[in-house]
Amino acid sequence: MNFDFSNEQKMLKDQARKFLQDQCSSTVVRQVLEGEMEYASHVWQEMAQMGWQGTCIPEAYGGAGLGYLELCVLAEEVGRSLAPIPFSSSVYLAAEALLSAGSEAQKSHWLPKLSSGEAIGVLALAEGAGAPVESHLQCQFSGGQLTGKKMPVLDGPLADVAIVVAKDGETGGVSLVLVDVADSSVQTEPLTTVDPTRPQAIMTFNNTPAECLGAPGKGWGLLTQLFNKAAVLLAFEQIGGADAALQMARDYALGRYAFGRQIGSFQAIKHKLADCYIKNELARSNTYFGAWALSTNARELPLAAATARVSATQAFEFAAKENIQTHGGMGYTWEFDCHLYYRRAKLLALSLGSALTWKNRLVDQLEQPSAA
């Protein structure tokens, strides 16, 4: 039994934590929140120099050629620091989509750029409120051209390349479509959202030149596989954030006095924070199993990913809201960082699909005769 990360992976994690503490404190997160910059580009560039964006990209395409376990430990630290960078969009989604479905030409063109951080990739799926349904997508790809509107697109304002999920005019199915956002026919309009530390956009395509990523009409299946992998990585961001929110609540409960004693000595606070800890540990354990399934490409991946996703979403949302509650009125001020966790927890809970959606996927898997 060795259900743990290796010493080298733990060292990488420590380095990442230290780097983000130094370079990506909440002051930096707030600069993006206040609109002083679109994202933390200096953090992004320094990360690229350390090779983070290319962690799982083979050396032939300019990456580090490491494994998913290394990417998992980095994801946890990105989540802990609330880094305002397009890491999940560019690394877990765009680069992974190219790696699993891209042609040699597509990979050679885009992967070195994504790996070096020079280009930022995004995934465009949603078309407004409500769960995206395979048969209801309006965005249309036909004759090498893409037309339609996607909203919201996470990190859309930063995108150089977009992978768009669209109805395929020729096969009648759904395809993943690769778009160079620099094309003049692409319109990117910024959106206001609950978490301004990660920019979002409405992206409009109007006869935009595009090419299929992977087999035409097979996009929905590719998307499902992509989401299973990304869910594990995002769950690591979530447990990192959940840990940080609990830590913040605990520190405040030790420093704040009421009725002549530390508020952390009241059971109402102690039990709340113990519940946070319990949820965080359950989520951590499920997320580790997800990491195992991801790194070994195990047949359990769909169930492991859904399980990790559900419990990590619950843990981070709970920790973020109870962190505000522990702070009382101060927790509701702009000045305190509590809302940064509250915002990010909700953003991460909804990108890739809500807990409701993932619970359904989890039970779909349990219904399979070979499950559990």
Q: Is 17 exposed, middle or buried (0-12, 13-18, 19+ CB in 10 A)?
A: middle
Residue type, 303: L
In the bound state with other proteins, the residue whose beta carbon lies nearer, of 205 and 288, is: 288
Report 312-331 residues binding other proteins (CB under 8 A). 314
Q: Is 69 in the site for other proteins (CB under 8 A)?
A: yes
Helix (H) or strand (E) holding 97: helix 96-101
Q: Which of 285, 331, 323, 240 has its CA nearest to residue 20?
A: 240
Whole-angstrom Cα distance, residue 330 to residue 340?
13
Whole-angstrom Cα distance, residue 240 to residue 284?
9
| Least distance in angstroms from the C-beta of 35 to other proteins | 36
Whole-angstrom Cα distance, residue 306 to residue 89?
19
Report 219-258 residues binding other proteins (CB under 8 A). 246, 250, 253-254
In the bound state with other proteins, the residue whose beta carbon lies nearer, of 225 and 295, is: 295
| Least distance in angstroms from the C-beta of 138 to other proteins | 26
In the bound state with other proteins, the residue whose beta carbon lies nearer, of 175 and 323, is: 323
Q: Is 105 in the site for other proteins (CB under 8 A)?
A: no
In the bound state with other proteins, the residue whose beta carbon lies nearer, of 105 and 356, is: 356
Whole-angstrom Cα distance, residue 50 to residue 48?
5
Report 262-321 residues binding other proteins (CB under 8 A). 262, 264-265, 267, 269-271, 273-275, 277-278, 281-286, 288-289, 291-292, 295, 306-307, 310-311, 314
In the bound state with other proteins, the residue whose beta carbon lies nearer, of 122 and 338, is: 338
In the bound state with other proteins, the residue whose beta carbon lies nearer, of 105 and 372, is: 372
Q: Is 372 in the site for other proteins (CB under 8 A)?
A: yes
Q: Is 12 in the site for other proteins (CB under 8 A)?
A: no
Q: Is 341 in the site for other proteins (CB under 8 A)?
A: no
Interacting span for other proteins (CB under 8 A) from 131-139, 168-176, 217-225, 357-365: 357-365
In the bound state with other proteins, the residue whose beta carbon lies nearer, of 30 and 359, is: 359
Integer angstrom CA distances of residue 308 from 89, 118, 230, 344 = 19, 31, 11, 18
- Eight-state DSSP code of residue 300: T
Q: Is 342 in the site for other proteins (CB under 8 A)?
A: no
Whole-angstrom Cα distance, residue 100 to residue 89?
15
Q: Is 370 in the site for other proteins (CB under 8 A)?
A: no
CB within 8 A of 89, min separation 6: which ones? 120, 121, 122, 123, 154, 155, 159
Q: Is 132 exposed, middle or buried (0-12, 13-18, 19+ CB in 10 A)?
A: middle
Helix (H) or strand (E) holding 190: strand 186-191
| Least distance in angstroms from the C-beta of 231 to other proteins | 13
In the bound state with other proteins, the residue whose beta carbon lies nearer, of 127 and 322, is: 322
| Least distance in angstroms from the C-beta of 187 to other proteins | 38
Reply yes or no: is the peptide bond before residue 209 cis, omega within 30 of 0. Answer: no
Q: Is 363 in the site for other proteins (CB under 8 A)?
A: yes
Whole-angstrom Cα distance, residue 141 to residue 139?
7
Interface with other proteins (CB under 8 A), residue total 49
The full DSSP string for 313-325 is HHHHHHHHHHHHH
Q: Using CB under 8 A as the criterion, which residues of the chain lie in contact with other proteins when the complex forms? A: 1-6, 69, 246, 250, 253-254, 261-262, 264-265, 267, 269-271, 273-275, 277-278, 281-286, 288-289, 291-292, 295, 306-307, 310-311, 314, 356, 358-360, 362-363, 366-367, 372
